[in-house]
Copies of this chain bind each other. A is one copy, B any other.
Amino acid sequence: MFDHIFKPKSIALIGASRSPGSLGHDVLENIKKLGFKGKIYPVNLKANQILGLTCYPSVLNIKGNVDLAIIMVPANFVANVLEECGKKKIKGVIIISAGFKETGEAGAAREEQVKAIIKKYKIDLIGPNCLGIINPHINLNASFADGMPEKGKVGLISQSGAMAVAIMDWAYQSKIGFSKIISIGNKAGLSEIDLMKYLAQDPETKVIMMYLESITDGQAFMKLSDKITNTKPIIVLKSGTSSAGVAAISSHTGSLAGSDRVIKTAFKQCGVIRAKTVEDLFDFAKAFSLAPLPRGNRVAIITNAGGPGIMATDALSDTHLVLAKFTNETNAYLHRHLPKSASVHNPVDIIGDALADRYQLALEAVLSDKNVDAVITILTPQTMTQEDETAYLASKLAKKSRKPIIAVFMGGEDVNSGRLILQKFGVPNFDYCERAVRSLDKMYFAKKIKTDIILAKYQGKNKKLNFSTRKCQIRTVEAEKILQEYDLPVLKSTLIPDKAHFKKINYWPVALKIASRDIIHKKAAGAVVVNNHTPFQAEKSFDLIVKNVKKSNPQGEIEGVLAQPMAKGKGMEVVVGMKRDVNFGPTIMFGLGGSFVEVFKDVSFRLAPLTKKDALKQMAEIKSFRVIEEYDIDLLAEIIVKISHLSLDYPQIRELDLNPIIIQKKGGHIIDVRMLI
């Protein structure tokens, strides 16, 4: 796929330089000295030789075939040399040079030029403004980062060069190996999506690890991730989630669906594991790349000291994991073979004088227990403890077992050699119980989520709104028409432009509310009066509503009032809403209505489209679900699904609130709708 970039047989370095410390020198040195076996062609107008290699004035002067060109010349020369790469039929190019989109208008123009050239010559491009790439498996470091990371199974895609360097540096200390390291820079050519596809089919990559600052095409990201995570875990650290988008007018849903919520929802829906910190990124990469996923959430803990066993148990309480309950056979066996003062119940305390053989006995017993899905084995360095022997035997058992064994060797120097053994033989090891538990929880979750949520399919119809859209809010009557297109159970309103029109109403009692695109929160503005039984009452309410609206918004539009039949029968108030995320598309919200929504923010989210099954799961996620469970859940699920389709069909609609929906034991009504464009 992109093997000309990641497994090139020949590389041209355009802008290679003789001055140590310069980019053009350091990248060349990295490629030459760290063991790359292919051909290397430095390209430099003025030099004849650099680091003992013959230099060429242009790639066009190179006789042989060139798979990959690395461009390091100043930004304003890039277009020229890139054009030459095209002519030379070089299929892979990395532009390390900065000075493009990230620097303002002139740079952005240069980037457009680059895009045109790669399109013309069908070049696969990484960058510009990036660190380069590394493939430890062929000893290729085509970047200006120092050294060669260990060979391993983690494929890293980083949107920040600085973060890639820091991650490599940390990884070196914690002995995490890489299959590929890719700094994607400005993504003028290949995006994270393209490179995920590459890593997905790369046999050397077992886990995909990403640091991203933006996800350009959220829907494509989700579709692809959903597919990849069936076979390879994807772990993503997404930064910049705290800066909530600022919108001029914000609906109820708008204020609750922050960007952090959207990322959380999106990742969950497509099976991506979210790392909240760099530590998470490492921990999860280690756990996922070394151990099998647990089949369930029942954890056995083995420890040679009480305290850490308690701490591991404490840590379970914040997760989806539970303490396994051993079979009677296991308990009896442990009771027979462990010392009297040992604790044979989970967590199993094999006490301070435990040698490796006692660990073996306990590990074998709990691994073969059918009530155990995963094992955390804790070691504290005590006088007699056999750190290395215990590490060896844990490695041996881990190799044979289908259940994950996670080790926690606590302490520093004393246990380091044990840790190295675990590392070498592929047992994930953590310094602290909490991090072992957290990683195991993610592994369980990764397994579970793929069976829980299946990405729904729906092709948006790209409908256009067929009326004037000057104002931000769509007229209620127009919004109701759109809902009716989808057979949504809206209580239809009639516009009453003046009081004389009440005569035409043939349903009483009526609810009245203002007809105005300038009032978002009608109740708060005193613009709703329910239970008008007679035209006389209605006329008085009309005046009151108009008066209140004029007071709260003197310049506001007033078309009249809207009359609506009163909903019959008792019910609960719920809310369904939508906010369009700029990257991920429509985010659908569900929650309980009434005054408590605002207080408790008890809402749940899904990205569109949704199936009915998804909608039912989404509803079940709110804390107060048991309060509404007895109502017409089925109808609500249908409403959610239809709103997800409507949102995909009408890309102009930015936010939407159905608030309240009165849901009854059988049936229900959408009482009010707000649509913002």
Q: Tell me the A residues contacting B by CB distance below 8 Å.
A: 21, 23, 26, 102-103, 144, 146, 159-163, 165-166, 169-173, 211, 213, 239-243, 260, 276-279, 304-308, 310-311, 313-317, 341, 352, 380-383, 410-415, 431-435, 595-596, 599-600, 602, 623-624, 626-627
Contact = CB atoms under 8 A, between A and B. Distances in A.
Contact of A162 (B243, B308, B315, B595): B308
B163 A308 contact: yes
A413 B211 contact: no
Contacts of A434: 276-279
A434 B282 CA distance: 14
A165 B380 contact: yes
A624 B596 CA distance: 8
Nearest to A380: B162
Nearest to A599: B624
Given A381-B166, A413-B169, A624-B600, A278 B310 contact: no
- Most chain B beta carbons < 10 A, residue from A102, A144, A163, A415: A163
A619 to B, nearest CB: 14
A60 to B, nearest CB: 30
Nearest to A174: B412
A171 B414 CA distance: 12
Q: Which of A166, A172, A241 has the most CB of B within 10 A?
A: A166
Nearest to A276: B434
Given A314-B242, A595-B627, A306 B213 contact: yes
- Copies of this chain, whole number: 2
A571 to B, nearest CB: 16
Contacts of A412: 169-173
A304 B410 contact: no
A162 B310 contact: no
A559 B258 CA distance: 56
A314 B166 contact: no
B411 A307 contact: no
A173 B413 contact: yes
Contacts of A103: 341
Given A432-B277, A600-B600, A165 B317 contact: no
5 contacts: A26-B383, A162-B352, A170-B410, A242-B313, A278-B311
Nearest to A622: B599
List 6 A-B pairs, minimum CB-CB distance, nearest first: A162-B305, A169-B411, A160-B307, A173-B412, A169-B412, A242-B317
A contacts with B: majority SS = helix
Identify which of A306, A352, A595 gathers the most chain B CB atoms within 10 Å of its CB. A306
Given A170-B431, A599-B626, 18 more contacts: A144-B383, A159-B307, A162-B305, A162-B382, A165-B382, A169-B410, A169-B413, A169-B415, A172-B412, A172-B413, A213-B306, A239-B311, A277-B433, A277-B434, A279-B432, A279-B435, A600-B600, A600-B623
Given A307-B211, A623-B600, A314 B240 contact: yes
A324 B146 CA distance: 36
A160 B380 CA distance: 11
A119 B240 CA distance: 62
A173 B317 CA distance: 30
A568 B131 CA distance: 74
Nearest to A277: B434
A663 B26 CA distance: 74
A21 B239 CA distance: 52
A160 B306 contact: yes
Contacts of A311: 239, 277-278
A276 to B, nearest CB: 8
Contacts of A383: 21, 23, 26, 144
Contacts of A415: 169
A311 B166 CA distance: 14
A419 to B, nearest CB: 12
B21 A380 contact: no
A412 B171 CA distance: 8
A307 B624 contact: no
Nearest to A602: B600
Nearest to A172: B412
Given A306-B160, A307-B162, A623-B600, A411 B170 contact: yes
Contacts of A414: 146, 169
Contacts of A161: 352
Contacts of A21: 383
A92 B328 CA distance: 48
Given A623-B599, A624-B599, A278 B432 contact: yes
A602 B213 CA distance: 35
A207 B9 CA distance: 59
A380 B307 contact: no
Of A26, A169, A434, A595, chain B has the most CB atoms within 10 Å of the CB of: A169
Given A162-B307, A278-B432, A169 B381 contact: yes
